Amino acid sequence: MSTVNKTSVREELDGLKGQFEQLCAAGKLGQEAKALVVALLALLELLMAVLMEKHTVKNSRNSSRPPSQMDKPDETATQPGSHTKGQDYHQGHARHTRTIETVQIAPVKDCVCCSKDLTAIPCQGYERRTVVDIIFETRRHHSDAEIKECPECLTLNKGVFPAEMAGPLQ
């Protein structure tokens, strides 16, 4: 499986621009199509600038500031053991996004073995499946399936997850 990074996205965008220029040179695009593609390419450039450059560490080569005015890197951040718990998880994730989390409960109503009503039986725990959609913000929707033991036949019963949640993480 190929990976997507800043370089590969830029190369793909440059390739699309080249194809567009070839089509224009061959006279295969009308004025409306040209205007639309130019606008879309400008939008893609803007998105690249905002999203792909957001986490780029600036230095004297990729900013307008001379080396003498650049902030010095924090030496303690590169020392072993300087990471706090959870830092590794957040690296590579968008820092300026909003996260919306929802939880839905899949209740256990009847025993799957003997069909006894389990609505009054207390829940012993939950099994979770999660869908993560990233669209300029992170949206997490959790679906928790109740787990109950039938007092009659001691069968462990679990709530039914939605069909679109086939595994633990989507």
Amino acid 75: pLDDT: 47
pLDDT the model gives residue 85 = 45
Q: Phi and psi of 141, rounded to 5°?
A: -120, 115
Longest dimension (CA), the chain: 78
pLDDT at 64: 67
Which pLDDT score, from 0 to 100, does residue 6 have? 64
User: Which residues on adjacent β-strands are paired with residue 145?
Assistant: 106, 127
pLDDT at 95: 58
Mean pLDDT by groups of 10 residues along the chain of 170 residues? 65 85 88 86 78 61 68 50 45 60 92 95 93 74 92 94 85
The pLDDT value given to residue 167: 86
Q: Domain limits of the chain?
A: 6-71, 94-158
Contact 54, 94 (CB under 8 A): yes
Beta strand 138-149 with 125-134: parallel, antiparallel or unpaired? Answer: antiparallel
Q: What per-residue confidence (pLDDT) applies to 9?
A: 77
pLDDT at residue 165 in the model:
85
Per-residue pLDDT at 157: 94
In whole angstroms, what is the distance from residue 117 CA to residue 120 CA?
Answer: 8
* pLDDT score of 70: 64
